[in-house]
Amino acid sequence: MKSDRLLLLGAAVLLGLPPAAAPASAAGVKELSKNIIAVQIRKQGFECKNPESAERDAKASKPDEAAWILKCEGVTYKVQLIPNQAAKVERLPEETQDGKQEAAPPDAGASSDPK
């Protein structure tokens, strides 16, 4: 949890937010996480309307490389945040209401800049 706060504080500084903008509560951390990650992937050309949630992916995370599952309106991404580099972004297949996965668009597996 402490590493999450440090990551968010670092991200807030990189985005030009004052350090006081980083909230102390866990709910505030999750709210700030989804917004910061959404801003990052938008800067890289990915679409993320109305970010809904950001959950830390502990299995995919590495030291100094936090992995997150970011859910936006109509799309879900796996985002690997790497210091001083662009994030690695992978579009994940959407699940239908009956639990089956829909096929992702052909470019969904691209983990680099979509340009």
pLDDT at position 31? 78
Give, in order, the Cα–Cα distances in Å from 46 to each of 15, 27, 102. Answer: 17, 25, 19
pLDDT at position 79? 96
pTM, whole model, 2 decimals? 0.61
For 107, the 3-state DSSP assignment is helix
What is the mean pLDDT for each group of 10 consecutive residues in the chain (115 residues)?
55 49 60 91 96 94 94 96 94 67 51 49
Alpha helices in the chain (DSSP H): 2-14, 26-43
- Residue 90, beta-bridge partner list: 78
CA distance 26 to 56: 13
Least Cα distance to 28 among 44, 14, 17 occurs for: 17
Taking a C-beta distance cutoff of 8 angstroms, is the pair 61, 67 a contact? yes
pLDDT at position 17? 45
Taking a C-beta distance cutoff of 8 angstroms, is the pair 114, 86 a contact? no
